[in-house]
Structures are given as structure tokens and as C-alpha cells.
Amino acid sequence: MTIHRLLFTLAVGASVCFMGCGHGGSSFDSGPDQVVSATCAVNNGGCSVTPMVLCEMSGMGEVVCPACPSGYAGDGRVCTSTSELDECDLGTHNCSPDATCTDTVAAYTCTCLASYGGNGVACEHGCSADVGASVRYRLDSLHIPTFAQAADGSVVGHDVDNRGDTCGVPDFGGSVDNSLIGLATDLLAVDLVDPIDLQAGIDEGLELFLSVGIGTNCVVLQLENGVGDALAVGRFLGVVDGHGNFRSRRPSVEMTLPYNTGTETLHLTLAFTNVVITGTVAADSLTDVVISGALDRTTLEAAVMQLLATRGGDVTFDDIRALLETRYDVQIDGQCAALSVGLTATATRYTP
């Protein structure tokens, strides 16, 4: 069973509190008070969730908790770490992207973020019915951050893969993933006479809007082009506090984004997973916007070839292939198959 199917099973079986329950996120801690359920579909059958011990059913229809994974001791229901490693820091935990991980002597705990409900491994939120009419904001800027900004502590992305360093690519401070920074720098050096400047292409083709709807503790976002057509399938649902700080996420999304080559505007179709958008919304502006996600390798390479085709053959995909290989930093099914992306933006309320 893949981790995605496993998390789906847990999410379906969990007793989830949606926003409006009157409290913050809930947590799950694998401990002795965990009650064994009659089936594996509910709370993993009482088997440990942090770390994950996948529940099984015996031929007699009884729950069976297999042995704890390597590095842990216990009966499968309660697993205690036998080392002093910090799973949260190493990124070897299985907390939801919408949860915080806290290291403990025994193992670790996963706590859903405020206004999310769940057991920490699977976290859900609901949007209230009072979401108002959407307000359109036009992006004034959409920037690929720089190494210098990352070094001085500026926000340059999010923790895209919920893990530590992978595929030989180190994270930035705070476990932030953004391999796009390195790739954009690498591409500038491929052709010094006619550089492949990703930032310039974004600037020239920038015609993006965010429609924002606000409800009680709830935000609904939609990425649109200049005529109001959605560029991503599905809306981004999230939470917002009393100061306008919002956080929204979609597990996966396909976007069609404009990119200007200097001679024409391409419309690049890109597939992302774990897309997170954060920022601050006010009546007339969006500030401190950060958009991040894991960019699928296949669609990225197709977009690169589409871009190179406009250059007349001076640079081929073979000239780029090695650069891409060193920058893939997100694992999918054990393979380095995606590139972490982080972009910063500001926007102003749009008046036609």
C-alpha cells in the first residue's frame, strides 16, 4: 500500500473535527491509552501511527499489530525509539503537511495546525458557509528568491516534502525546500551570450490574478489569468486568522502558466504536489505571499523542451539534463522525481 493510500484510509476512518469546533488542532500520540479498534479502517486499528505500524487483520477477523519498525521497540501498538535521533529534525516522521511534529523521548507526536482537525497524520479542515464574494488581486511581482535572501533569513518557500535533506540536495533553514533557486542560477550559465533567464521570462509574461474569498477562519483562493479563467483545476482552501494571515494547500494541482521567451509567450502546463500558498490579505493588497510545491519531473522536462524549441537549437535538452538531475530533491515512491519550487509575490486589488 502506498503512503498516499494509507493516509487516505486514515483520513476516512478518523473522527475529524472541522473548523468551528471551538478549539485548535488536535493531536495523536502513540501511547498506552490507545484502544484497539475492531477494524483497521478506524485509527489504524489501534496500532502505532507515530511511527507507522500498518494494521493487519487475522484470518479470524481480529486486529494484528506487526512488529515496530527498525529503531523502535514495543508491541506494535506502542513503539518507543531506541535511539536519540530527532525524527522531526531529520524529516523521517509521517506527520501531515498540515501538522507540526514534536520530538519526544519515546518517539514523536503530530499535532494538526490550528483550525484543522484529525490525528496529526491526517488533518482536514472545512470551509464555513459564510465565505463572501471573491476579490481579485493582480500580482505585481512573482519572484524566484535568491541564495542571498535564503541566507539572510527571508522566507523563500515552505517544507515541501515534510522531510530533511533528500537526494543530496540540502534544505534551507527551517527545513525549507526550494531547489528552483539553484536551477535558475545554473541555467543562467548555460549560455552566457543569450542566458536562459527564468526570472526575466516570468516578469515578461506576468499576467496572473488571485481571487480571494474570506469566511469565518476560512480562505478560498483561485489562480486566474487576465480574463478570469482558472489556471489551476480546483480551488485552494485554507485558514485565515484575525490579522489576515492565511495558509492554503492542495495535495496536487495542474497549472497552466504564461512564460515569455522574448519572442513569444508560451503556456506551460506543470503538475505540482503539496502546493502551499501563504500570505497576508488586506482590503487593497496581498503581501508576503509565498507559493511553493513539488514540481513533477515529467511536466518540468516537457516544459524545458518546449522552451528550448524557441531558441533555434543553440541549446539542447542534453545541455540541460545534467543540471536537472542534480536539482531533483523530492522523492516520489523512492525516486528523486520532483523539484521543490518556491516563489514570492505581492498583489494589488484589481479594479477593471
In this predicted structure, what is the pLDDT of residue 270?
Answer: 92
- List Cα–Cα distances, 32 to 6, 35, 47, 56, 77, in angstroms: 23, 8, 11, 19, 8
In this predicted structure, what is the pLDDT of residue 105?
Answer: 80
Q: What is the mean pLDDT of the chain?
A: 83
List pLDDT tens digits, range 61-72.
889 999 998 888
Q: Hey, where are the domains in the chain?
A: 3-124, 135-349
pTM of full prediction above 0.85 = no
List pLDDT tens digits, range 55-104.
999 888 889 999 998 888 899 999 888 877 788 877 778 888 778 888 88
Q: Which residues contact 283 (CB under 8 A, 6 or more apart)?
A: 349
Backbone angles phi, psi at 22, to 5 degrees: 90, 15
Q: Is residue 338 scored above 90 in pLDDT? A: yes
Q: What is the mean pLDDT of residues 301-323?
A: 90
Instruction: Write a three-state SS string for 231-259.
Output: CECCCEEEEECCCCEEEEEEEEEEEEEEE
**Neighbouring C-beta atoms of residue 322, cutoff 10 Å:** 10
List pLDDT tens digits, range 152-209.
989 999 998 877 788 889 999 888 999 999 999 999 999 988 889 999 988 887 889 9
C-alpha–C-alpha distance, residues 131 and 232, integer Å:
20
